[in-house]
Structure 1
Amino acid sequence: MAGTVRTIIPIIMAGGSGTRLWPLSRETMPKQFIPLMDAGGSTFQATLERVSGPQFGPPIVVTGNDFRFIVAEQMRLLGREGEILLEPERRDSAAAVAAGTLKAMERDPEAICLVLAADHVVTGTDAFVEDCLRAARAAEDGRIMTLGIEPTSPSVAYGYIEVGAPLGVEGTFALERFVEKPDRARAEAYVADGLVWNSGNFLYRADAMMEELRQEAPDVVSAVSASLAAGRRDLEFLRLDADAFRRAPKISIDYAVMEKTRRAGVVRASFGWSDVGSWDSIYDVKPADAQGNVIEGPVSVLGTRNSLVRSDGILTAVVGLDDVVVVSTADAVLVAAKSEAPKVKDLVAQLVAAGHEAATDHLRIHRPWGWYQRIDIGDRFQVKHICVKPGGILSLQRHHHRAEHWVVVHGTAEVTIDGTVKYYHENEAAYLPIGCTHRMHNPGKIDLKIIEIQVGSYTGEDDIVRIEDVYARQ
């Protein structure tokens, strides 16, 4: 394409919960950080790789406190560096966009920003980059561009965009209006009339977006500006100030700006796209067998058609069902009509209200040093599988109600007990009596895996008195 534009700064939104993909996606490890597709990496990592070319600068990632170490680790695995902004709480997308845009303006007040969701699936990276460059050329003239997706069906799951007259850049158009998610009849009419899906991904010049935000959502701008100014560094993260940030109204960037601005434009995207928002959309982007089934993991089906059946470990068998979703994990099983899959979000809310731990927490809990997973729990005992990555260090801590036994099954553990350091190798065990101060470190080059046996009157996670922590956790 003729002409050049300045470097595009990706602003990646990575703070969502993805509850419609429960039980695979949960509050403690949502869909953007899970390998949903066959490539092996997460959609967040795929998004990072999509904007890793010479046209793009270091990304700005906006996420929540609970996901900070997951974000940092997944970026490290790709060798990507960038700014990680931590929202104190979710205030919808307008506040997140404002924070990322203001941060980008510190590099260049007229920076070209590309706002991307971390949980979307895109096919055709070259086409994606070309479309971004088209949008960037229009953005240089002050347009706020959105990437409109050519519909593959009259979907009722997405909002639509009416495309207007061509702009000065080939493949770009004025944006006439946004249309909310329609019913089936209206969706069919929209597709026939040439409307496109609203992907929720935007590209704009930073000063242009901030002018619109100041005009249409001044309370968002004042709160986020104050929060950014009062933010503090915490390791490699920038924590936005909580008191200022919570003053920002909860409003989406669509409602705050895009549905009001006269600067809006759209590119008719030439790449494939899905927001993989629910299990039926996962089914749509996966290859199916001759019976129309998408099968993943240890699964056996008989007389079953047009269904998605996935298992993350246990043998899952389905007989005589059509158009269903079956997803089994170690601690939860979902069975749903494929057409009702978007309602899983409502089911999760029901489970949360009933106090089901599995509604929000995975059995495997990720920590900055690695992860742990409960094997068994009973009266006065708990057994866990713990993995500490090379160089990982648990906090120096003590417990008031339990003793622990650490049995090394893989690697080498450097264990500190009341100031004394000792090394334990495979098939060796350390005993940690109640009340002792202790810490574990993996000094090796391979994962350290241990079986932890807790014995005592209380084995809850809140029986941890953290004395010192290299990850600055409280």
Structure 2
Amino acid sequence: MTKLIVPVVLAGGQGTRLWPMSRAARPKQFLPLTGPTSLFQATLQRVGDRSVYDKPIIVTNAEYRFLVAEQALEIGCELGGVLLEPVARNTAVAIAAAAAYAMTNFGADAILHVLPSDHDVLVDEGYAVSAQRAAEAARAGKLVTFGIVPTTPETGYGYIKTGQGVGEGVNAVDRFVEKPNRETAEDMLSSGGFLWNSGMFMLGAGKFLEECEAFSPDTYTAANEAVLQAKVDLDFVRLDEAAFAQAPNISVDYAIFEKTADAVVVPVSFHWSDLGSWDAVWKVGSKDAADNVTSGAVTLNNVSNSLVMTEHAHVAIDGLDDIAVIASDDAIYIGKLSEAQKVGAMVKVLRGNADTAALTEIHKTAYRPWGGYSSVVIGERFQVKRLFVKPGKKLSLQKHHHRSEHWVVVRGTAEVTLDGKVMMLSENQSIYLPLGCTHRLANPGKIELELIEVQTGSYLGEDDIIRIEDEFGRA
């Protein structure tokens, strides 16, 4: 039992509308789009006051478990549980599983503050007041959603029509409105009484599950059984796949909030954006005198109303207006900033072509719990990678059936285990790892270890790894 609010952070989405930086392997919630921390880390920091909030429960894709753990560790946030979704099934069952898990740990009266992990929110006095009002309504048996007072006729958001007041700063929900066209959005904005649907909620764990059982019994059964049959894996809770997969692929709005008689909305006016497109990133960014937002190595001449972001290559643009240029390691997107909602359609085109599908899934740089690697050159029977290993981390003890490797230390100190023998390598030293040998790489130092790895062999795929020991439970 806890008197504190229990945060539930939803961190399983793939965010394809922010391609090419956001991809399936590293989606937008784990990227630093608006500041030095990622959106996920900023969400954790919003619920960091331990006089108000308990430790957060995270619901995420199994593929993101180490990203979640590492990013929470980076900002010193202790987690109350990490629930791993075995398959994607939208928000209804994700929240129901979190509610069932919270009931087990805190009781039916636990108040949950459900938050997407990929939104940009400014925490001010109004935010704190709205959270307090929502918590009071939830303790009174209401299912609370937060509605943002609209400032523009946005077509990328759903809307909530407010009903009569049911308390200070709390209204009944009259109805939910799908994402409108421009004319409808303008009409709603001028008529008043409509709010942007933020996707943030405050609800009692027991109350929510009662409504879930009444209005979406398949969701209720799947969530409860998935938690009941869950397996603990290191610091994670693996929800049972067979049970979870039975849940309908449906949002919590459709499944519960549009049907329950106890839905209420708290209208709020603090800064909020779902950062669902590149023009949304531009709107919250710091603009120059010509209304340009830039990040990375960028040179502009006679450019206005544009967003230009680059991870490595220097981008120079001359004489353009209303453009979005997003340059990642291995792909560049160029389009009209005012039509940035169309990026999702471009991703579908890329995904439908076998030659480009991988560009929507993985980055040139892949991140692992120990660090990561970047592909430098790929040829027939050889590949060159840059490996980086965090201080104190080590890779699995492993071997390969189809390739040999050569490691050259560029920076830091490497501890190498080769067929049971341990040796230390410093900068400019190298070692050869023959095909079939048992080997491990570790960083015993206090700075990041950087190596160049040259692979040669008949097959160079990442699945040619036989893990013998692994501190991350992958062996």
Which residue is 2:182 aligned to? 184
8 A Cα contact 1:405 1:452, kept in partner: yes
Distance in structure 2 (CA, Å) of the matches to 1:421 and 1:296: 43
- Matching of residues 23-422 of structure 1 within 5 Å: 23-37=20-34, 39-53=35-49, 54-82=51-79, 83-106=81-104, 107-168=106-167, 170-194=168-192, 195-355=194-354, 356=356, 357-422=358-423
Which residue is 1:16 aligned to? 13
Deviations 1:252-305 (A, max 9, x none): 100000111110111111311000000011111112212121122111222322
Deviations 1:331-359 (A, max 9, x none): 10000112221121121121112122222
The letter for the 1-side match of 2:37 is: G
Distance in structure 2 (CA, Å) of the matches to 1:318 and 1:230: 55
8 A Cα contact 1:50 1:125, kept in partner: no
Deviations 1:175-233 (A, max 9, x none): 11111111111111111222110001110111111111000000111111111111101
Q: CA deviation at 1:461?
A: 1.2
Distance in structure 1 (CA, Å) of the matches to 2:58 and 2:421: 41
SS of residue matched to 2:136? helix
8 A Cα contact 1:135 1:267, kept in partner: yes
Q: CA RMSD in A?
A: 1.2
Distance in structure 1 (CA, Å) of the matches to 2:402 and 2:257: 55
SS of residue matched to 1:167? strand
The letter for the 2-side match of 1:111 is: A
8 A Cα contact 2:46 2:123, kept in partner: no
SS of residue matched to 1:131? helix
Distance in structure 2 (CA, Å) of the matches to 1:186 and 1:463: 54
8 A Cα contact 1:403 1:454, kept in partner: yes
Instruction: Identify unmatched segments of 5+ residues in structure 1.
Output: none
The letter for the 2-side match of 1:270 is: S
- Is residue 2:428 matched to residue 1:431? no
The letter for the 2-side match of 1:209 is: F
SS of residue matched to 1:17? coil
Q: CA deviation at 1:239?
A: 0.2
Q: CA deviation at 1:124?
A: 3.0
Moved more, 25-34 or 124-133: 124-133
8 A Cα contact 1:390 1:442, kept in partner: yes
Deviations 1:425-470 (A, max 9, x none): 1111111011111111112222111111112222221221222211
Distance in structure 2 (CA, Å) of the matches to 1:105 and 1:458: 49
The letter for the 2-side match of 1:50 is: R
SS of residue matched to 1:221? helix
The letter for the 2-side match of 1:420 is: K
The letter for the 1-side match of 2:18 is: L
SS of residue matched to 1:128? helix
Distance in structure 1 (CA, Å) of the matches to 2:463 and 2:456: 15
Which residue is 2:470 aligned to? 469
Q: CA deviation at 1:6?
A: 3.2
Q: CA deviation at 1:319?
A: 2.2
Deviations 1:382-427 (A, max 9, x none): 1111111122111111112221111112221111111111111111
Q: CA deviation at 1:360?
A: 1.4
8 A Cα contact 1:162 1:175, kept in partner: yes
SS of residue matched to 2:363? coil
Distance in structure 2 (CA, Å) of the matches to 1:76 and 1:354: 38
SS of residue matched to 2:17? helix
SS of residue matched to 2:224? helix
Moved more, 368-377 or 125-134: 125-134
Which residue is 1:442 aligned to? 443
The letter for the 2-side match of 1:405 is: H
TM-score, structure 1 as length reference = 0.97
The letter for the 2-side match of 1:158 is: Y
Q: CA deviation at 1:61?
A: 0.2
Distance in structure 1 (CA, Å) of the matches to 2:205 and 2:174: 22
TM-score, structure 2 as length reference = 0.96
Moved more, 5-14 or 201-210: 5-14
8 A Cα contact 1:131 1:270, kept in partner: no
Q: CA deviation at 1:136?
A: 0.6
Distance in structure 1 (CA, Å) of the matches to 2:46 and 2:325: 31
Instruction: Identify unmatched segments of 5+ residues in structure 2.
Output: none
Q: Percent identity?
A: 49
